[in-house]
Each structure stands twice: as structure tokens, then as C-alpha cells.
Structure 1
Amino acid sequence: MTRTSTPSILKGAFILSMAGLISKVISAGYRVPLQNLTGDLGFYVYQQVYPILGMALVLALYGFPGAISKFISDRDHTGGPASLPSFYLPVFLLLTAFSLVIVAAGWMQAPRLARWMDDPHLTQAVRTSFCVFPFIPVISILRGVFQGKNDMTPTAVSQIVEQVFRVAVIITTALVVSRSGDLYHIGTGAAYGSMAGAAAASLVLFLWMIKKRGVWTFQRSPVQASFSRHILLYGVLISFNYMLLLSLQLVDAFTLVPQLIQNGYHPEEAKVVKGIYDRGQPLIQLGTILASSLALALIPSVTRRRMEENPELVRSSIASAGKITLYLATGAAAGLIFLFPDVNEVFFQDAAGSGYLRVLMLVIIASSLSITTASVLQGLGRIRHTAVLVMAGIGVKGAANFLWIPSAGIYGASLASLTAVTFVLFGNIVILRKDLSLWRWRYLPWGPLALAVAGMSAGLYISRGAAKALFALDGRLPLLLYILALSVGGAVVFVLILIRTGGFTRKELEALPSSNRLIQLLPKG
């Protein structure tokens, strides 16, 4: 029987978090050159199929591996390695059947799905996208087994390799498509990129499995016949907690263009407007990653057992995670909103859509807090509750799109996304009240946060005026350097005001580099 130490668990969580951060930065960053190469219409095509590809990625990275790792971890405390005939084969067959059902349904219904998107030209791209799902079983099982043994390195390496291969194929396709002129091929290219990444990740994991001993045996083991079905159900429920932003994009894929066309837009114009609106997605993704990653490092210490053993310590960890997420998300959203016309021009070549994209940036705050609170609830065993809330959030987004796009256009879609993620966030907080009372959220340091946002905004306003008066910011490179300088300066001002006004406790600052100097900035008393 093996026992895994707490430091080992935290080290594994850190490795996985860093790999997730790197791969997500890659995933968000490549969309800028993709849009630059294919324009807003090509970006629209990519974003129409991306939710399908993203859901396959989530199932293979978080959902099924999480469910399998729980089974393997529990087994490590009661017996030896998992059996090939009794564990690996039944799980593989069930996940394969699940994947093939999705592929068959998606392949046959692709023409109908494309019609619902009001763009029959997307049929082939939609069909090809569903072909990613057969890669799920092998990747999920191997990642889950390694994670169950608390060996996070194979998952981390395979995750980065998957993203590198995927991005390489997509950008290569974009280069070819930009010369050939058939922009709808970018959709099939994205699907082929996901398949190439999944194949590369499978190979890495398989080679790791061959070298690793003690993770499988041919000897049959007495296991319950229904365990594989529990893995399927548990895996799907876990995945919902990571699909909030993807789900909103899926709703937009089916409703935004049709709604715009019904309200007087020409079909080609509606597609271009949708492509401009989709510029906000990589920025939201990047802002959410940066805001929630640091807080999520605290989450492995939040479990039901720890809550029962030391409730006050766990509640303190939850409150700190929420506070850090709130600070980082608010700072990122406020900075992007203030700098957005220039950010839009630097990354996407023009300032089109800056108004409704600014509104969309507010999603960073609610989505970051939603992910953090959902992760806390997941650690406390409330996975079904969070999955139901995400499904309800999808309904809110769809209803709001139908209500607000006819009257407010793309602004309506931005407000619908903000409403949906805020709904999920408040739902998470209400469920969490059984373990963390609502008054703790009311007494977060809102005053220091408001002062920090105001101080940062004032500093950015003065710096922007001085920079544009002193320098010629005509090209994209000077604008990029200008934005980077203002972002760093704004972040420094934001953090210093938070510390100086009591936004952090002494204990929280002690965990940071140069803590002695930072502690000196705390208000007296």
C-alpha cells in the first residue's frame, strides 16, 4: 500500500498548473496570427468549429483523466496496479463507444448543424471536427493512470506537445488558406491540427507507459461491473466545470449570425461582424488564465476531509483564493478596457468593434471567479451542483442572445455572456455558503480594490497622454512597446495601491518574493 505525501501532491498540482498555463497561453496566443493571416472572416470560420474541438480537448484533459485518476488513487490504497483485462480494457471500450456515438451523430447531423449556424459552407469543417473524439479514450486513460499515481509529468509534457503540434498545423493551414483564398478550409485545418496534436500526445503517453513499471498487470482483479460507467458519468460532470467559456462560444456559434441576418445584416457582413466579436475570446481566455492560475494553486488543499479536520484553515484558503482571483481579474479587465482601442489595433490590425469588445472584457472578472469557486466546490465534492449551474448558464446565455441581439446588436451578445457567467458565479457562491458563509464575500477589501482601479486608471490616462504627445505611435511595433510599458506600469501601480491601502494581509505577503520590502508598505496597525 502506498501513501502519497502532501508535499508530493502539491508538487504534482504545481507541475500540472504550470503546464496548463503554458499550453493555454499558446492556445490563446496563436489566434492573433491566425486572425492576421485569414482576416475576420477566416477567424469567424475557425471560431464556429472551435467549441467542438475544445470540448473534446476538455474531456481528454480534465474530465475523464480526473475520473480515472480518482479510481487509480483509491485503488493504490487498497491493492496493486490496475489490471489490463479488468480495468484498462472495459474503460477503453466504454469510452470508445461513447466517442464513436458522438462522431456518428456529429457526422450525420453536420449539414443540419451548419444550417442552424446559417452557413451551409461549414458542413465539412463541422464533420471533420467530430473526428477528434476517437482520440479521447487512449489519452484519457493514460493521463488518468499517471495522475492517479501522482505522476503529473507525463500529462504536463503531453499537454504541451499536443498544443505545439496543433498550433503548428493550424498556422500552416492559415498560411496556405491565405494564399488560396478558400477561407472555409481553415475549419478543416483546425480539426486536422487537433487530431495531429492528439496523436502526438498519445504517442508521448504510450512511450512513457512502456518505460513505467507498476502501473498495469495482466492479472484479473475483482472490481465492480459498474465502475466504468461511473468513470463515464463522473468524467462528463467534471468536464462541465471547465466548459463554461466554451459553452458560451457554442451558443454564439449557433445564434449570433442567424440573429444578425434576421435583423437586417447581409450574410457576409454578419459573418465578418461575428469574426470581429470573436477577437475578444483569446483575450478573455488569457485574462482568465492569469487571474485564476495563482488562486487555483491553493485549491488542492481544499477537500471535504480537510474541511472536517480544520475548517477555519480551509475557509481561509478559499477566501484567499477568491480575493487573489478578484484582484487579478479586475486589474486585467480594467487595463484591457482602458487600453482596448490600441490593443485591438496592435493584435488585430484595426480598432473595429472596440466598444462591444470592451463590454465583453468584463467577462474576465466573473469567469475567473466562477472557475475558482467551481474548483473549490469540486474539491468539496459538489461536482453535480456546478455541472447543473453551467448547463443553466448556457440556457441564460441562449435566452439573453435571443432577447438582446435584436434590440442591441453585438452589444446584446456581450451583455448576454456577462449575464451568463455572473449567473453561474452567484450560483456557485450560494452553493458554497454551506461551507463559507456569505458575509465573508461581503467583507472582502472592496475599498482598496476600488482605489487600486482608480489609481491605475488615472496613471494610465496620464501616461497615455504623455506617450502620444512625445512619441509617434504610428506602426504596430511602437504601439506594442507602448502597450507593454503601460501594462507593466499599470500593474505595478495597481499592486502597490492594494498593499498600501490594506488589500493584502501580512501573512499573504509573506508568501511572495521580496516579502520584507512589501510588508513595509502595509498601513500601520
Structure 2
Amino acid sequence: MSDSRLVRGTLLLTSATLISRILGLVYFFPFLWLVGKQGAALYQYAYTPYTILLSISTMGVPLAVSKFVSKYNALGDYHTGRRLFKSGLLLMSLTGLVAFLALFSFAGPIAKLIIDNKATTGNTLADVTMVIRVVSTALVIVPSMSLIRGYFQGFQSMGPTAVSQLVEQIVRIVFILAGSFIVIKVLKDEIAVASGVATFGAFIGALGGLAVLVWYWKKRKAHLDEQLEQSTVDHQIPLKDMYKELIAYAVPFVVVGLAIPIYLQIDTFTINNALRDIGYELEDAEAVYAILTAHSHKLIMIPVSLATAMALTLIPTITNSYTSGDNDELHGQITQTFQLLLFLTLPAAIGLSVLAAPAFGSLYGLDDIELGSRILRWYAPTAIFFALFSVTAAILQGINKQKFAVISLLVGVVLKGSLTYFFIVNYEELGPILTTDIGYLASVIINLYIIKKYSGYSYGYIAKRALLIGIFVIAMAISVWLVRMPIEAFIAGGYNKGGSYLQAILSLIAGVVTGGAVYLWLSYRSHLAGQILGNRFKFLKRKKNAI
């Protein structure tokens, strides 16, 4: 895949993932209005173990299948990928059923690790158990859907994945909001029931995403069959050997895909207990948990969407170059990937940190703005570590060094797990953020070293690019701060002195417009934007004598 196709595939999936993230953020406001922080925490309690079981049940299928299919397609063998697709659908149906039964059966013990039954405020043990069981139903469908997405990605076709993601998200959100509204406003039922209905949206959304993929399959089957007939070779790999190779790909994908869910699960098991040990009531501890893992996490995952989409595009691309032995193209793809990542993720993460107070106030209201803005300000830069780990792990998988991605993740998880309780006791709500940064930083450093060692890639050029982007980001941050100061100082006297919702919105808009304009102008004038985004954005390329 050429750099332009890499950019195209990345931007297609980034756009779809970004829209999905934005929709996931926008719907959360009315949902939060309906169920409150207690309901939001209950909803999040269910989704964290669900995400972990989902990653295990799919066995890293989307990325593993995309790598497998891409490899054999590059060798002129389309038969092997098709055989994997047919047999894999049955396997994914079975693993999805097993995962559903496991999560449904162990919902009670998992709930006991999250919350005890002695609390007089907040959610009950029965509530947490119920929502975990409800969300487990989606595990029956999602694994099969993941395999179909991976098969299309193996052909460097990102459209089916992008469209199915959007439809899945839209259907899920409509069901969540409609169901919660009916439960709370029409039936006048409890918040726990509304949260249970909301978690069932995962199953309904999966049905919508699967329907889209089935439609794409029917539409493209004739073309795929034509490619099948044009195969120049058929390796006739036995199913046993085929799955052995696939599992060798998939296990590292599973572990890497579990990175963020495992970190969140550590926080889920630790935050309430640690904060209560230093005097917090459960209700207050749940508020911290909800603001960190739901409110703030949804915001910082928006810039991380780029890395998620890039990883999906990157693995079959790098696998193709690595299999073909084209080191120049491989190094060019790695360079293009890091440039795109830094160019888009760094300003988004730092900008969100600088605008933490007006962003949180505009999106979630001013009631918890002091706590919320402090958490978001510290948590936003963590998005850079999330993104770097996703992309460096994808590169390792593309060059068949995936075991090192697993090792680096395990190092990070051990650091996170061993330090979190201590850091929460000493730094309260900032503790989970600091330990996440420490764990991910260690993993990223290991990944970068392994990439250099086994691919011969040099970071000199990227270091220069990172320095230039960093200078532009600092200029952007200063401009945003200068614009915010007068608005927040003179309109309504500041947040802590009765500041208004209008003040937060004005400050956010002014900051986003100013920061975006400064960063884009500097990138355009320096030729950086045109050089990174390439021929698909020719209007960004200026003549060299323009400066």
C-alpha cells in the first residue's frame, strides 16, 4: 500500500471512529441528565469487564485476520483467506457464546470486587450484577462481526468497518436514550433499571453493525469470487496449521487490545476502596470514578481514535511490505505513521488539557467543574501515551515481533497494578492518572527500542518532526491561554465565583478557534501540513518561495 493509500485508509477509519466517539460523547449528556453520576458509574461498571471479555472472545480476530489475509493475498493466494473466513465464522460464534455464559455466570463475583454490600449510599451489589449480566448478551454477536471486519481489512478495504462502526454506534445510542427516557420519564422507574436498559444497547447496536456487514458481503461477493478464481497459488494449508498461525497472530492482538480495558479495570477495582480507606463516602468515591472513567475518558479517547484507526490500517500494510522484503517502503510507512500520529494527536491532547475547565463545564455542567477540570487537565496528555502504544504495538505486529508488544504491556500493567493504590492514597483523584502514565510510558519506550532493533528504523527524522510539532503546540497552548484569561476573569467573575455556563461555552469556542487557527497557520506556513498529509491534500502544499 502506498503512502497515499495509507493516509486514505487511516483518514477513512479515523473519520468513522472520530464520528463514533463524538456521538458517544454527545449522547452521554442527555443520558447523564437522565440517570445522574450514580447511573453513569453503574453503566461504566458493566462496560469495563464486558470490554475485557469481548477482547478475549474475539481473540484479536479483526487485526489477526487482516494480517493473515493480507499476507496470503500478497502471495497470490486468495483461497487460504476464504477458507479461514468460512471456518472462522463458526469458531467466533462458539467463542462468543462461551464468553457470554462466562460473564453472565461470574457477574456476581465481579460485582463484589467493585462494590461491597455494606454501603448505605450509591449503587447496590444487585444493581452492578444486573447491568453486567445485561451487557453480556452482546458477546453473542460481536465476535462474528469482528471476523467479517477483519476479512475486509485484509483486502485494505476499510469502508465496511467504518460504516458498520457508525451504524452500530447510532443504533446503540438511539436505543440507550429512548430506553432510558421511557424508563425514567414515562414509567417512573429506578435509575438502575434505566442503566440496565442502556447496557442492553450494546446488543441492539451490534445487530445493526452486523446487518451492514452482511449487506457489504452480498454486494462485494462477486468481485471477491473473481479474485478467488484468479489466484496464482493455493497453499492448501490444513485447518490445524491455519489456526495455529492465526492464533500466533491473535494472542498478541488480544493482549494489546486489552491494554486500556485492563488499566480501567485496575482503576475500577481500586478507586472506590482506596478513596474510602482515606475517608471518602462511597457516593463521593463513585463521583470521582465516574468523572475519570466515563466523563474524562470519553473526551480523551477522541484524539486516540486516530491511533485506533491507524493501527487497523497499518498492520496489513506493514505486513505486506515486510513479507515482500521492501525495507524502504516499510521505513517510509513507519515514518508516515509517526508523522500523522504526532501531527494530529499532540495538539488535540494538549489543547484539551489547556481547555479542561471550559470543556468540562460546557459538556458536563458547572456542578463538578473544579474536580472535573482538574482530572481532565491531567488526564488529557495521557491520550498521547495511549496513541503511541497502539501504533508502536501495531508496527511490532506488522514485523512479526508481536511478543515484545505483549512483554511491554505486561511491564506497564505490573507497574500500574502495583502503584495505583499507593498513588490514590497519596494523590487522591490524580493517582490513577499518574500510574497510567507511568505504565504506558514504560511500554512505549520498550516498543520503540524493539522497532529500532529489528527493523533498522532510525528515529532521527521523526525526532526533528516531533520537535517542530512540539514548538507549534506550545505556541498554540500559549495563544489559547491568552484568549481564555480575559473571558474567564471578567465574565461572571470566574468559575469559582459564580461563573456561568455561557462563560464556559464562550471560553471553549474562543480557545478552540484560536488554538486551531494558530496551529494550522504555523503548519501551513512551514510546509509541515502539506508534507505530512501528502498529495491527497494538495491545497496544503505551498510553493517553497512563499515564505
The answer to whether the 8 A contact 2:303-2:348 is kept is: yes
Name the counterpart of 2:230: none
Name the counterpart of 1:410: 429
Deviation at 1:103, TM superposition (A): 2.3
- Take 2:95 and 2:88, find their aligned partners in 1: how far apart are those partners? 11
Structure 1 residue corresponding to 2:528, chosen from 504, 515, 519: 504
The 3 A distance-change label for structure 1 pair 315 and 12 is closer
Deviation at 1:306, TM superposition (A): 5.0
Identical columns (%): 24
The 3 A distance-change label for structure 1 pair 426 and 126 is same
Deviation at 1:158, TM superposition (A): 1.8
Deviation at 1:477, TM superposition (A): 5.0
The answer to whether the 8 A contact 1:53-1:194 is kept is: no
Q: TM-score, normalised by structure 1?
A: 0.84
Deviation at 1:321, TM superposition (A): 2.8
The answer to whether the 8 A contact 1:295-1:321 is kept is: no
Q: Which amino acid aligns with 2:152?
A: F
Worse-superposed segment, 290-299 or 59-68: 290-299
The answer to whether the 8 A contact 2:272-2:289 is kept is: yes
Structure 2 residue corresponding to 1:492, chosen from 500, 504, 517: 517
Alignment partner of 1:224 is 2:249:
no
Name the counterpart of 1:254: 269
Deviation at 1:39, TM superposition (A): 2.1
How many residue pairs get aligned? The number is: 516
Deviation at 1:122, TM superposition (A): 0.3
Structure 1 residue corresponding to 2:357, chosen from 313, 316, 341: 341
Q: Which amino acid aligns with 1:424?
A: S
The 3 A distance-change label for structure 1 pair 136 and 391 is farther
Name the counterpart of 1:359: 378
Alignment partner of 1:373 is 2:392:
yes
SS at 1:381's partner residue? Answer: coil
Q: How is 1:112-511 mapped onto 2 (pairs within 5 angstroms)?
A: 112-119=109-116, 120=125, 121-176=127-182, 178-179=184-185, 180=188, 182-214=190-222, 222-226=236-240, 227-232=242-247, 234-278=249-293, 279-290=295-306, 301-303=317-319, 305-306=321-322, 309-350=325-366, 351-353=369-371, 354-434=373-453, 435-436=455-456, 440=460, 443-445=463-465, 447-468=467-488, 475-477=500-502, 479-497=504-522, 504=528, 507-508=531-532, 511=535
The answer to whether the 8 A contact 2:423-2:435 is kept is: yes
RMSD, aligned α-carbons: 3.7
- Take 2:213 and 2:333, find their aligned partners in 1: how far apart are those partners? 34
Worse-superposed segment, 44-53 or 303-312: 303-312
The answer to whether the 8 A contact 2:153-2:316 is kept is: no
Could you report, residue by residue, the CA deviation over 1:299-344 in whole angstroms, capped at 9, with x for unpaired residues? 7653473597553453344234324423433322322222211111
Q: Which amino acid aligns with 1:185?
A: V
Q: Which amino acid aligns with 2:217?
A: M
The 3 A distance-change label for structure 1 pair 168 and 406 is same
The answer to whether the 8 A contact 2:334-2:395 is kept is: yes
Structure 2 gap segments, 5+ residues each:
117-124, 227-233
Alignment partner of 1:35 is 2:32:
yes
- Take 1:228 and 1:301, find their aligned partners in 2: how far apart are those partners? 21
The 3 A distance-change label for structure 1 pair 323 and 143 is closer
Q: Which amino acid aligns with 1:27?
A: G
Q: Which amino acid aligns with 2:438?
A: T
Deviation at 1:5, TM superposition (A): 9.3
- Take 1:311 and 1:79, find their aligned partners in 2: how far apart are those partners? 23
The answer to whether the 8 A contact 1:259-1:402 is kept is: yes
Deviation at 1:200, TM superposition (A): 1.7
Worse-superposed segment, 13-22 or 41-50: 13-22
The answer to whether the 8 A contact 2:114-2:269 is kept is: yes
Deviation at 1:282, TM superposition (A): 0.8
Deviation at 1:491, TM superposition (A): 2.0
SS at 1:416's partner residue? Answer: helix
Structure 1 gap segments, 5+ residues each:
none
The answer to whether the 8 A contact 2:64-2:249 is kept is: yes
